[in-house]
Structure 1
Amino acid sequence: MKKLFFTTAFVLSILAAHSQTTWSNDPAHSRLGFVVKHLTISQIDGRFADFSVKVTTTKADYSDAQIEVTAKVASIDTDIEARDNHLRSADFFDAEKYPTLTFKSTAVKKVGKNKGKLYGNLTFHGITKPVALDVQYFGSVVNAMNNAQTAGFQITGEVKRSDFNLGTKYPEAMISDKIKIVANAEFSPNK
């Protein structure tokens, strides 16, 4: 069982007790973030405030799990309104023409205890590229607020903005080509 999707490798024993087939992220306790270097001397972080993650499976061993992430590009937030508006413009994401960012998984491989590699296709700015991300499982508990089983993960990795023709007017000395992805998410089964 080498190919598993990220929830299976880490929480199979917990999830197996549930007959649910779909898990969703808790928006209040999830963040889809990124970090870029500015002028090669500092790091600026931001996030997509409006996003959702769905994990679907039909098999008891979760070997067929499908992970889908959708984010509204216009929800980009770096805490500076002028910068956010510039990032939404045609100079960067062109949110009017390309309103969504998506990720669809293709596989995950377990690489250690509570760690995995998540593979999939990332689409934004009209371009789709395969990406590989690192997954860390933090554990699972019953959330006292809603009595739902809740699992926590962190997903990290890097993409190149040049691969997506993002901000082509701006050289590496101004904005790094590598964009670090840092996503933290809590998941519960849909009822």
Structure 2
Amino acid sequence: MHNKFLTLSLASALLMGGVQVANAAPESYNFDPTHTNILWKAEHFGFSKPSGRFGLTSGELILDEDAPENSSVEVVIDTTDLVTGIEKFDAHLKSSDFLDVENFPTATFKSTAVEVTGETTAKVTGDLTLHGVTKPVTLDMTLNKIGINPISEKKTAGFSGSIVLKRSDFGISMYVPNVSDEVEISIEAEAAYTAPAITKIPAVE
């Protein structure tokens, strides 16, 4: 990603040009829940792939345009906001058979490493906590654009991502293997610039 990615930069969770900054300091961005979607689909007895989405509670991106491998992301996902468009199906997925949102109302992702893989792509590894279980996972992320949002007039980063998770890894095993263990996740996200990232200054003794 260096070269083009240094000017477009890495924006992602879970986790990406117009504005260029030479020797830019890392910057802090907040995710826009209105324009951030976490979409999923899973095979159902081989007949179809039902799908749905999750809402985003909060999320922060620290973006280093000069060294995107030093970027980081942390998000909180609202599992109670799962929506398929079918009320009965939503209720079942939120029940103790699956997500058990009464006991686990959120999922979190916190990045631990960013590997630049191309001009606008990266692998973002981090810890995903879902259903009370924490596992390391790696997302494939693509930077779409960094520029000024014409409505908010804020510097904004947009990106897409994907990952395939095994729900049984997180203790959600109901109906496996008839209902697919693998769940395909896709991410479309926008994050708006808030401020230069805060860096800790060593204490002077």
Q: TM-score, normalised by structure 1?
A: 0.85
* Aligned with residue 182 of structure 2, among 175, 178, 181: 178
Deviation at 1:61, TM superposition (A): 4.1
Deviation at 1:182, TM superposition (A): 0.4
Deviation at 1:7, TM superposition (A): 2.8
Tell me, in whole angstroms, the C-alpha distance in 1 between the residues paired with 2:21 and 2:40. 29
Counterpart position of 1:156 = 162
Q: TM-score, normalised by structure 2?
A: 0.80
* Aligned with residue 53 of structure 1, among 56, 59, 75: 59
Residue 105, structure 1, aligned to residue 99, structure 2: no
Give the aligned residue type for 2:110: K
Matched length:
187
Instruction: Give yes or no for contact 1:119–1:131 (8 Å, CA) kept in 2.
Output: yes
Counterpart position of 1:190 = 194
Q: CA RMSD in A?
A: 2.8
Tell me, in whole angstroms, the C-alpha distance in 1 between the residues paired with 2:89 and 2:170. 19
Unpaired runs of 5+ in structure 2?
196-205
Instruction: Give yes or no for contact 2:32–2:192 (8 Å, CA) kept in 1.
Output: yes
Counterpart position of 2:141 = 135
Give the aligned residue type for 2:129: T
- After superposition, the Cα gap between the structure-2 partners of 1:84 and 1:30, relative to the gap in structure 1 and judged at 3 Å, is same
Unpaired runs of 5+ in structure 1?
none
User: Once the two structures are superposed, what CA deviation does each residue of 1:104-141 show, in whole Å capped at 9, x if it has no partner?
Assistant: 00111111120111100100111001101100111122
Give the aligned residue type for 1:187: A
- Identity percentage of aligned residues: 34
> 1:74-93 counterparts in 2 under 5 A?
74-93=80-99
User: Once the two structures are superposed, what CA deviation does each residue of 1:142-187 show, in whole Å capped at 9, x if it has no partner?
Assistant: 1111211112100101110110111x231222x1110111010011
Residue 120, structure 1, aligned to residue 126, structure 2: yes
Instruction: Give yes or no for contact 1:48–1:73 (8 Å, CA) kept in 2.
Output: yes
Equivalent residue of 1:172, what SS? coil
